[in-house]
């Protein structure tokens, strides 16, 4: 007997938990009904291409499968969120060095306190995510996870402490690399102003430093914008790479 309802319910749990966590497919202001509709719309094609469940499970085992699917979907979504967090972190580093962090405001789209460079970096990465069809690759990796790690399977492997540390260290490395030009420019501006204040004591460096750092950072941002877009275009495919590696590590247990 083909267990249609339990199968589509387990598929829906993994996909919906991924949709809720992943920044590219939902945001704080998105209605819950739209998230449910999107998750259900993605679950139906996955249901068609995955093998049928022909074994009737006890209710307790089915609950464990549901919890497992929830955790796996959230973990995959969290991996995709990490790279957007790295981009936003880069903007926060630049904001702190320039002085924009004092003017941070609540961004309802991402649900956190965000300042100017943080929002610019985040929405630029989001535009590149969709313009380069990376969202299709992420959805393909999500569907592929049902092949690597079927819904009937309860035993899981481990991603390993080494893999987790590598992933988090890469996030910080990406953030520092993206923010480095503006941070260095702001630091050099402060050094120049410090030398200038020793040379010409009559200049009020305290009043001059803030607008000068903002002017230098915004000018450098405009000059380096194509390079930043190219860097983001090379970083975002790592989402698919680590999603596949994570699911394969779970399946290896």
The count of structural domains within the chain is 1
Token code pair at residue 82: 């990490």
Q: Which of 82, 77, 84, 76 is nearest to 247 (CA)?
A: 76
0.85 exceeded by the pTM?
no
Q: How far apart are CA 153 and CA 220, in angstroms?
A: 52
Residue span of the structural domain in which 245 resides: 4-251
CB 42 within 8 A of CB 15: yes
pLDDT of amino acid 61: 84
Backbone angles phi, psi at 17, to 5 degrees: -65, -35
pLDDT of amino acid 158: 65
pLDDT of amino acid 105: 55
DSSP secondary structure string for all residues of 230-242: HHHHHHTTHHHHH
Residue pLDDT, tens place only, 136-146: 999 999 999 88
pLDDT of amino acid 12: 93
Range 197-229 burial, b when 16+ CB lie within 10 A, else e: beeeeeeeeeeebeebbbebbeebbeeeeeebe
pLDDT of amino acid 113: 61
pLDDT of amino acid 193: 81
pLDDT of amino acid 3: 55
Q: At what angle do helices 134-148 and 4-21 cross, to 10 degrees?
A: 140
Quick one: DSSP state of residue 103? G
Give the residues across from 33 on adjacent strands.
none
Instruction: Return the number of other C-beta atoms located less than 10 Å from residue 179's C-beta.
Output: 22
CB 39 within 8 A of CB 16: yes
pLDDT of amino acid 70: 92
All residue ranges of the chain with pLDDT < 70 are 1-3, 54-55, 100-115, 157-161, 253
Q: At what angle do helices 161-199 and 205-235 cross, to 10 degrees?
A: 150
pLDDT of amino acid 15: 93
Indicate the helix (H) or strand (E) that contains 36: helix 32-49
């Amino acid at each position: 007997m083909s267990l249609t309802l339990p199968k589509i319910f387990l598929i829906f749990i993994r996909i919906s938990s991924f949709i809720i966590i992943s920044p590219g497919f939902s945001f704080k202001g998105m209605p819950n009904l739209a998230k449910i509709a999107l998750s259900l719309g993605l679950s139906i094609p996955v249901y068609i291409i995955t093998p049928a469940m022909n074994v009737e499970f006890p209710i307790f085992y089915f609950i464990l499968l549901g919890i497992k699917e929830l955790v796996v979907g959230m973990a995959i979504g969290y991996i995709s969120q990490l790279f957007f967090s790295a981009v936003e972190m880069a903007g926060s580093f630049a904001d702190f060095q320039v002085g924009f962090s004092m003017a941070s405001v609540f961004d309802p789209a991402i649900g956190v306190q965000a300042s100017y460079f943080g929002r610019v970096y985040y929405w630029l990465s989001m535009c590149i995510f969709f313009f380069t069809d990376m969202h299709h690759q992420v959805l393909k990796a999500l569907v592929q996870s049902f092949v690597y790690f079927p819904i009937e399977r309860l035993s899981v492997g481990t991603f390993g402490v080494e893999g987790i540390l590598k992933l988090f260290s890469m996030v910080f490395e990406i953030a520092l690399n993206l923010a480095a030009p503006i941070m260095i420019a702001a630091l050099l501006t402060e050094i120049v102003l410090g030398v200038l204040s020793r040379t010409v004591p009559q200049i009020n460096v305290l009043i001059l430093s803030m607008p000068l750092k903002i002017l230098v950072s915004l000018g450098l941002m405009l000059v380096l914008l194509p390079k930043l877009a190219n860097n983001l275009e090379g970083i975002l495919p790592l989402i698919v790479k680590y999603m596949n590696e994570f699911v394969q590590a779970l399946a290896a247990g």
